[in-house]
Chains A and B, each alone.
Chain A
């Protein structure tokens, strides 16, 4: 990146620590131990400083994901924010998100988050029924979730998201419906509803491959449509395949990904995309810290994306949203085929998928690309 430095407006920070490893999760994570939280926070600040050699970072959104970012003790968090604040100007932040698991924080810790600038907390809930929670290996119950939401509200978190999962083995449509109602009862601002995916290197994938569990696209569709209908009736906006919001509460950070904005990723395994270049950090906390301390960064898998590749990504990502893609991006006859099947529609100058289309967005992207 020579000449004028690219200005990056979105930053992702990966916090890999989890008390308990969930058997379905495909993200890079591990239990705390080898690397102290302080060392980890120090390395993040160093990594950010090194990144500033190549680009200007003026964040509009900041997203702490994981792992379990809420695991960090209040004082470590405070120190981390101070450290980052010395490197970049955090005053222009519109959204500062933090992922949290119930039972990893209390109101006092949430108050520290609010004090340092966090505006949005995304709670990893997954389900409200005992059966699904048990299959998913979660260590919290429905009452823990209510307590967590209350703590966040009392501490002054403006936006609360709840993550839910469907098509969990053993989960019935009625369980899903109850989970959705239970989530709505807690009055969150945003709901992410994820179809269970059998990710690489997980216990779940083994059980799926062994034939113990099966996938069924028709059943998945029933779950998907139920959420769409139920949340729609409650006045929520289905603004991306897996995301619903009360109007005006859509996630700014995530929309930036879908719109193809540049983003800087910090922490082990985090991905960055800046000016057509993409790289991933080492997915190994100890080695990541070592490299940051040694050479200032821990990037690997660097690739330079062609215009065609970027275009494909943008198309695939925007098709997943209620915004859709500009009319000019799609071939008219192909689009009409999809519209004829009720999978899409023209909306002003855009081509937008219907709910039925969203369910087969991967096929549609392939069809249109």
Chain B
């Protein structure tokens, strides 16, 4: 069977440019979903996705569309994650398509993320169809968007389709453009099975469901398959397509987008980007583009109450089932007790995981200061990857340290360029080049250490540009850097939860800041408590909590004694929740307080 009636495409857009609404409208016009079944944002099924208006997982759907040319086409829409944290997943989804709709908000115009997405689509050699969305808005400025298309994206303005997902304008035009401009899946050179996995979910009843695009061959129930990255073999139990619900079919063939269920026990057995082939007649080479996903950002996650460790362990385990990119290993901290060292694809991913732990698992958790993976070359020639400050080797043994960089695309109104340049400099970055976009805005391309944008870069960008600045980034290798491990010592003893890797020049101000905050939250004790920030043996900042001067019950007679004892019992109970550091006891809440404030601002 030919593929000339099949089109595979995805929608790429900046957040809030109306991707989900438009997808829903496409489903409606093609009668894939009856109107009465419609509820807004059909494809974003996770609560969090709906609420934040972002897509985290892929949501493919197969539509049937009778075109003006009289033929009925099979259109496969792959709704893709829109954030750079998931750029690998995006690239795999895009690789499963031949075309992409590029959505641009008619009022807001091209944003930083739009550019990053277009670059990704070009890398996959997709046909890009620009769609100016939300043309019904009073603030819509189509001539301006047309200019941006030509100037910034180098696309002919006349190729753009004007649409409004909300009002149902231009939907048929879009569908017709997909049929006309997006090529059908190419004819394969042979009939060997090659299917690319672009996402997977774990269903507790059906097991691991792999989302696939077939580039050649066919696959059906009973096919014996091999995962090319692991060499493991399985038997297919079911195949089908999304309509958008999973609908069983007899087989999937070259050009199809759908799902397969095989006898896999664990979600970790399927890797995004892997190639599935037939065990009996394997393809000689896998499809290009497969990578093992590596977490980029790390942070410790601890239960606020140490009693909740077991529940947290269960929760992170369950989370990982549907989020293979999230990694965790148990660790223990002198200050926070037992918890997990967790790896994330990026900042948004980290936030999402923390949020899901709180919301879906009701966990009260605290995170340590996030960090990145540093590449170290030791004097003895050994190469080391360090994602946890507690594993930082003796500085005397380090030959070179390299830190990950990002290439950031920052779009700001002209009036705020100064502020942004200052912010970039403050974050140890430099501006590579500047492009004027449309007379009112510029696009700065800046190189920044990933470490520096982890905590507050986006907030600072927003606040210094009155909310007009937008930023996106892509990973851009590493650079040698003068980094040090800074410890916080309380009463002379290092408190692991506060150890961080910082640039030498930033160590002092960060150390001073942390010491000051700790001083504010640690209650006064019987003894004076010194707080120091140190690099190795060298103290770079110090504070001191003076000894408590007075705390004594005034009246202690017959009727007061029980109260006094209960107070004492309470103090003793409280001591159990404290961390003994030398001869002082520090309430865990104090650490948590400081971690909260230092990771949220």
Contacts and interface: CB of A to CB of B under 8 A. Distances in A.
Given A217-B548, A313-B565, A316-B564, A12 B527 contact: no
Nearest to A341: B527
Given A320-B556, A365-B568, A366-B572, A360 B550 contact: yes
A309 B527 contact: no
Contact of A361 (B552, B557, B572): B552
B561 interface: yes
B557 A316 contact: no
Interface in B543-576: 547-559, 561-562, 564-565, 567-569, 571-572, 575
B568 A316 contact: yes
Contact of B565 (A254, A270, A316, A359): A316
Interface string B8-37: 000000000000000000000000000000
Given A217-B550, A220-B550, A280-B559, A362 B567 contact: yes
A363 B554 CA distance: 13
Interface stretch (A52-60, A149-157, A257-265): A257-265
A278 interface: yes
B137 interface: no
B346 to A, nearest CB: 44
B5 to A, nearest CB: 75
B526 interface: yes
Contacts of B52: none
Contact of A341 (B547, B549, B551, B568): B547
Contact of A367 (B526, B553, B564): B526
Interface string A336-362: 011001010000000000000011111
Given A257-B561, A309-B565, 16 more contacts: A12-B558, A27-B559, A195-B552, A197-B553, A217-B551, A218-B549, A273-B561, A317-B556, A337-B527, A341-B547, A359-B551, A360-B526, A360-B550, A362-B571, A363-B548, A366-B568
B557 A341 contact: no
A305 B147 CA distance: 85
A136 to B, nearest CB: 14
Contacts of A312: 565, 568-569
A271 interface: yes
B583 interface: yes
A242 B556 CA distance: 9
Contacts of B572: 366, 369
B575 A366 contact: yes
Interface string A316-347: 11001000000000000000011001010000
A257 B560 CA distance: 10
A224 B565 CA distance: 23
Interface of A: 12, 27, 65, 194-197, 217-218, 220-221, 224, 241-242, 254, 257-258, 263, 265, 269-273, 278, 280, 303, 309, 312-313, 316-317, 320, 337-338, 341, 343, 358-367, 369
A217 B559 CA distance: 25
Contacts of B565: 309, 312-313, 316
A365 B551 CA distance: 11
By size class, the interface of chain B is 20 to 34
Contacts of B559: 12, 27, 265, 269-271, 280
Q: Helix, strand, loop or mixed for chain B's interface?
A: loop
A3 to B, nearest CB: 25
A278 B526 contact: no
Given A312-B569, A341-B526, A360 B557 contact: no
A257 B558 contact: yes
Contacts of A263: 558
B564 A360 contact: no
A221 B552 contact: no
B561 A359 contact: no
Contacts of B568: 312, 316, 362, 365-366, 369
Nearest to A320: B556
Contact of A221 (B549, B556, B569, B571): B549
A360 B527 CA distance: 11
A337 B548 contact: no
Contact of B526 (A271, A317, A363): A363
B554 A242 contact: yes
23 contacts: A12-B558, A65-B557, A195-B554, A217-B548, A217-B551, A220-B549, A221-B550, A224-B550, A242-B555, A258-B556, A269-B559, A273-B558, A313-B561, A316-B565, A317-B556, A317-B561, A337-B527, A358-B552, A360-B526, A360-B549, A361-B552, A363-B548, A364-B526
A48 to B, nearest CB: 16
A241 B556 contact: yes
Nearest to B569: A312
Interface-central residue, B525, B548, B551, by most chain A CB under 10 Å: B551
A361 to B, nearest CB: 4
A303 B562 CA distance: 10
